[in-house]
Amino acid sequence: MKSSNQFAAVAREKLVMPLGRHAVFMAVLLTIVLGMTRAASAQVAPSGDEGGFSIAAGAMASGYQVQYGQQKLLGIAGVVDVDTRRRFGLEAEGRWLMFNNPTQMRITTYMAGPRYHHSMGKFQVYGKGLVGIGQFTFPYNYAQGNYLVIAPGGGVDYRWKRRISFRLADFEYQVWPQFTFGSMTSAGVSAGILYHIF
């Protein structure tokens, strides 16, 4: 029977995942997204809709249901949104799920991708499609692995003041297609506050 040290060594060997293919995929995806943004800026726009963009950054609290072990983890997240007046933009986020974890399981994700937003009075609804890297620390620190993560989602913001918005709800469905034990999913909701830099 294998000792816990032997189990940890075997798990580490299985979890060392080459990120070369994923780095190339993400570089190509980012190039396509940036190319689309450049092409859109060259088009003629109605006078009330042309030019300009805004940047907002903020922090959120998150709660996620993780398929592996059916765990419910809590954490924090940082987000940056770059939006144009033509409703298209980019979102980047980092999330650290590390609370409510008696088994010491931790999940960290760094993702970015395009977003589409639509304002209705003081409310703004948005959809997003993020791609990035997820770092998964297995229970009791037996092993750690880095994986590709794909995350569609969306949410609702409320513009409270000129520079302050509340992120009322941000929904995200994460797919980890090359997880060690087969494809894994997680889903969660976040809420927080955003500061509009300009």
Q: Which among 93, 101, 59, 58 is positioned nearest to 76, based on CA atoms?
A: 59
Average pLDDT over all residues of the chain:
82
71-86 pLDDT, tens digit each: 999 999 999 999 988 8
Which pTM does this prediction carry?
Answer: 0.74
- Residue 26 pLDDT level (bands cut at 50, 70, 90): low
Helix (H) or strand (E) holding 8: helix 4-15
d(CA 99, CA 192): 17
Q: What is the mean pLDDT of residues 182-187?
A: 95
